[in-house]
Structure 1
Amino acid sequence: MEGACLKIEKPIGDAITKIRFAPQSNNLLISSWDSILRVYDVDNSLLRLEASSEAALLDCCFQGESVAFSVGTDCCLRRYDIHSGTHKAIGAHDDLATCVEFSEETCQVITTGLDKKIMCWDTRISDFVAYSKAVGSEVECMSVCGLYLLLGVGASVNIFDLRYLEGPIQTKNSAMDYRIECVCSFPNHKGYAIGSIDGRVALACLDPSEENGTGCVFRCHPKYKDGRYHLVAVNDIVPHPHQYGAFVTGDNEGYVIAWDGQSRKRLFELPRFPRSVASLSYNHNGQLLAVASSYIYEGEKEIENPPQIFIQKMDESHVRSASSGTQKSGSLLILLHSFSLSDRLLGSVIGNISLSFKLFSHGRNSQCKTARDCEQFVSTEVDFPSLIFKVPGILCWVRNIKISREREREREIESVYKLILSLTLYSVFYPALCNFPSTICIPRLESSVAMSDEEHHFESKADAGASKTYPQQAGTIRKNGYIVIKGRPCKVVEVSTSKTGKHGHAKCHFVGIDIFNAKKLEDIVPSSHNCDVPHVTRTDYQLIDISEDGFVSLLTENGNTKDDLRLPTDEQLLTSIKDGFAEGKDLVVTVMSAMGEEQICALKDIGPK
């Protein structure tokens, strides 16, 4: 089901940064780069507030139903009275203010900024006295979890007690090697989820003693066909307000996916949205999901089309998916075909079902009297999660039948329907023993996609380097580091940064040398955008032999030989290898690997043989 797009009379003029539903109503708060804070009444399709300021707005939040706050590129925190339409600046950071949250427990507004500070503003005091605490690093994202504050800093989560902001009470590594893009706490204040720029999500408990193996890391997208990982930043995560452990993720490619963290399953995926998903928000009862589809100034090929906000109604099927871990999967025949059954076995299964129905209808007034009637009935009437065969005569509960990908599919499905046939025959020939209502039902065949299967598997930190490249923010890449320029792995020999542009993004000019052919390459990237960085490894091998056609034979650690490398093209290194080998020296060569290429890059002389 596709969501309805909000019709705002004066369209949003620039990228959306945050959307949030009010705590108890369907008023939607919207902040954006066009410097306007909006409050839209979703129920009545009415714009309740449109307040302009002098700077782009980077975040916003509600305090109750009548007050809102925003932070922006002018470093200021602003307070808005939604009923009167007035607003004023109540304080400021020393640099851009980037995040804002309201804590109901402490009645504080908490902000962070590029000045590497947390600031807390007490709303119970008329002049909004602020308390600030330096954190030493730029905060990427923030979430309030009861009396605790979660800060995404680099690849770690810093946890503060809002009552004592002297320092973090915990610093948790996220089990992800890349920058955290978003963090959200669950409604019960016991756990949280974080999303990273490489497309992974991690779940963790606030109290380390309650972990007990419940923490996990998974990728939101499966691998490409060539085995590379689908690296798409997770821009936002929002929990369901009533289903503990259920949450949705939104990413740079416009995908919104719902997950069940407790059972570790993917619940459903919404149709792809036209632009990146910049922000998400559930309403107070979980019946509406707002999706901000907008460019976000983090992609090189982004087209700056007007942003849109979609309201997705979460109907009973979505709620049932979240609570039971199952989702509707279509008709029985579609299921059978999806398991790639042979024509012979498919015919046998349908035949068994048909025979069952014909036996049921014997001596009764049934709607399924022929095999074709049965097949048509099954294909149109039998749906998940409850397969209901509306035929008078018997109620057979076949419990806990699950189609497992790891087991032999054909044999298992055939066994299931032979069991149905057996129960049917038994009930027909022994009616005295069958004192059941007039429905036959198979309660549920498991149909959800597990997050731990081959497409969405859980991984350890060691799995993170399986891809050829990983994303890194351009502004953090330094001289002598690595970067991919024009599809080639390069070592950075020069970096220069231009001044801040229209949207607050400086430009980085990179000059790199190809690590394999020594060619000079250049690229210009906005400092806030992600660049591909190659995984570069160096491995030492003992040189055994040099062939006449220029290949070397190397001894690996496990005693095998590696014979697929040529001699290096660098004249000085080539001469040193040939001369040392001719003199009978014991040589060790260093092989550099990156993006599927290998080359000898160094030589060590460990003495005569």
Structure 2
Amino acid sequence: MTSHQFELSESPQDAISAVKFASSSPKLLVASWDKHVYLYDASEGDSARILQKYEHRAPVLDLCFGKDDQEAFTVGVDWDVRRVDLTTGEQTVLSSHDAGANAVVYDPAHDMVISGGWDSTLHIHLRSQPDHVPNTIQLPSKAFSISLTATKVVVAMATRAVHIYELDALATAAAQSSQPSPNLLEVEPWQTRESSLKFMTRAVSCMSNDAGYASSSIEGRVAVEWFDPSSESQARKYAFKCHRQTVDSVDVVYPVNALSFHPKHGTFASGGGDGVVALWDGVAKRRIRQYQKYPASIAALDFSKDGRYLAVAVSSGFEDGQEDIEGSVVKVFIRELSDSEAKGKVLK
């Protein structure tokens, strides 16, 4: 199979904040600053179509699918964590942060929703206890990005702090909390780290094999780290420069806005303010390929769960000199990958 790329029709009307594929189908959710969530069917190639859109009260900053492709969870500038029934369009507020909520993930093993916000808290929503007010974990600083594996969740924050929690521990603590009022959980992180990057974190993404994660910064760098706390494993972590261009003999550095790991090959994609998407082999420490430049800054990336598609969200930003809506570029591209396109180097 050869690679193929197509653009989704009916793009959002303002900057895109997140794109997420469903776990069991090629349905794609897109969150936008235009106060809407868009649901697409990406299985039809050039004939891919929008299925529905769901209006919110304020810009939507992050989202994820739930237990199947019929429900989603969203967070945004209105501070709310919402469940959206993608069939009926009904929205239910699960909780409200005390400031903008900007990250949300769903753990299918425990039927648990975890959200983070600028109020420096995590909200833990254990779905088996729907009558209880969600539990709260106090963080040392604002949550910027959250990603999870089969057993852990990584929370990247301001002040370069990184907390890694075990999902079993979070679910157990939430289940043991029987108070019908807001409850502050005293759950210690499994690991507490300082980011390997010197500047503000933009994105974090966990490896598909539950072994570690990658993080990116505003200063054109990506760090790759492993969970194993042994000195041998920690000696493997590294960081590298990327998403930089030489303009008039000046090295121009762009933020790395998005990261996504391939679910089968373990390689990962990065997207930058330079409008470039690159594929990396994190183990072999090499770039696999770099795609032709997109028309504006890369806002978000996500591989489909079967590894067949890569969703690329493009939005004009300050890197493009366009901060207003008029004249800006907002597009979503779907790249259908060839069989070997995202494969890494075979190490001997």
| TM-score class normalised by the smaller sequence | 0.7 to 0.9
Q: 1:124 to 1:4 in 2, by over 3 A?
A: same
- 1:563-609: CA deviation from partner (whole Å, max 9, x where unpaired): xxxxxxxxxxxxxxxxxxxxxxxxxxxxxxxxxxxxxxxxxxxxxxx
Question: 2:195 — aligned with what?
Answer: 174
**1:224 & 1:67 partners in 2: Cα distance?**
45
**2:131 & 2:316 partners in 1: Cα distance?**
37
Question: 2:61 — aligned with what?
Answer: 58
Amino acid at match of 2:322: E
Question: 2:180 — aligned with what?
Answer: none
Question: 1:80 — aligned with what?
Answer: 84
- 1:539-584: CA deviation from partner (whole Å, max 9, x where unpaired): xxxxxxxxxxxxxxxxxxxxxxxxxxxxxxxxxxxxxxxxxxxxxx
Cα offset for 1:254? Answer: 0.6
Q: 1:253 to 1:300 in 2, by over 3 A?
A: closer
Q: 1:294 aligns with which of 271, 292, 315?
A: 315
Question: 2:178 — aligned with what?
Answer: none
Cα offset for 1:317? Answer: 4.4
Q: 1:134 aligns with which of 131, 134, 138?
A: 138
1:3 is the counterpart of 2:24: no
Amino acid at match of 2:91: H
State the SS of the aligned residue for 1:43.
Answer: helix
Quick check: 1:265–1:325 contact (8 Å CA) kept in 2?
no
Give me the CA root mean square deviation. 2.3
Moved more, 226-235 or 287-296: 226-235
Q: 1:177 to 1:30 in 2, by over 3 A?
A: same
Q: 1:100 to 1:159 in 2, by over 3 A?
A: same
Quick check: 1:2–1:271 contact (8 Å CA) kept in 2?
no
Within 5 A, what are the aligned runs for 1:415-454? none
- Structure with the bigger percentage of strand: 2
Within 5 A, what are the aligned runs for 1:260-299? 260-296=281-317, 298-299=318-319
Cα offset for 1:177? Answer: 1.1
Question: 1:217 — aligned with what?
Answer: 239
Cα offset for 1:215? Answer: 1.1
Within 5 A, what are the aligned runs for 1:572-591? none
Cα offset for 1:136? Answer: 2.6
Within 5 A, what are the aligned runs for 1:495-534? none
Q: 1:46 to 1:55 in 2, by over 3 A?
A: same
Amino acid at match of 1:62: F
Cα offset for 1:70? Answer: 0.4
Identical residues among aligned pairs (%): 28
**2:265 & 2:340 partners in 1: Cα distance?**
14
Quick check: 1:289–1:314 contact (8 Å CA) kept in 2?
yes
Cα offset for 1:306? Answer: 4.2
Structure 1: runs of 5 or more not aligned: 327-399, 401-609
Question: 2:253 — aligned with what?
Answer: 231
Q: 1:228 to 1:136 in 2, by over 3 A?
A: same
Cα offset for 1:263? Answer: 1.0
Cα offset for 1:33? Answer: 0.7
Quick check: 2:275–2:294 contact (8 Å CA) kept in 1?
yes
Q: 1:260 to 1:5 in 2, by over 3 A?
A: same
Cα offset for 1:325? Answer: 6.0
1:89 is the counterpart of 2:93: yes
**1:156 & 1:127 partners in 2: Cα distance?**
33
Question: 1:313 — aligned with what?
Answer: 336
**2:35 & 2:243 partners in 1: Cα distance?**
34
Looking at CA atoms only, which structure, 1 or 2, has the larger radius of gyration? 1
1:151 is the counterpart of 2:174: no
Amino acid at match of 1:42: A
**1:104 & 1:133 partners in 2: Cα distance?**
20
Point out which structure has higher relative CO (alpha carbons under 8 A, 6+ apart): 2
Amino acid at match of 1:48: L
TM, length-normalised to structure 2: 0.86
1:195 is the counterpart of 2:197: no
Amino acid at match of 1:60: L
**1:71 & 1:212 partners in 2: Cα distance?**
34
1:107 is the counterpart of 2:127: no
- 1:220-278: CA deviation from partner (whole Å, max 9, x where unpaired): 1467489865421100100001012x000000111000000111110001111101110
State the SS of the aligned residue for 2:98.
Answer: coil
- Structure with the bigger percentage of helix: 1
State the SS of the aligned residue for 2:253.
Answer: coil
Q: 1:94 to 1:220 in 2, by over 3 A?
A: same
**2:294 & 2:93 partners in 1: Cα distance?**
35
1:68 is the counterpart of 2:68: no
Cα offset for 1:211? Answer: 1.2
Amino acid at match of 2:291: L
**1:310 & 1:219 partners in 2: Cα distance?**
25
Quick check: 2:297–2:320 contact (8 Å CA) kept in 1?
no
TM, length-normalised to structure 1: 0.50
Cα offset for 1:43? Answer: 1.5
- 1:38-78: CA deviation from partner (whole Å, max 9, x where unpaired): 11011142322211121110100011221101011111111
Q: 1:124 to 1:317 in 2, by over 3 A?
A: same
Amino acid at match of 1:196: S
Amino acid at match of 1:148: K
Quick check: 1:156–1:180 contact (8 Å CA) kept in 2?
no
Amino acid at match of 1:235: N
Quick check: 2:295–2:329 contact (8 Å CA) kept in 1?
no
**2:187 & 2:222 partners in 1: Cα distance?**
29
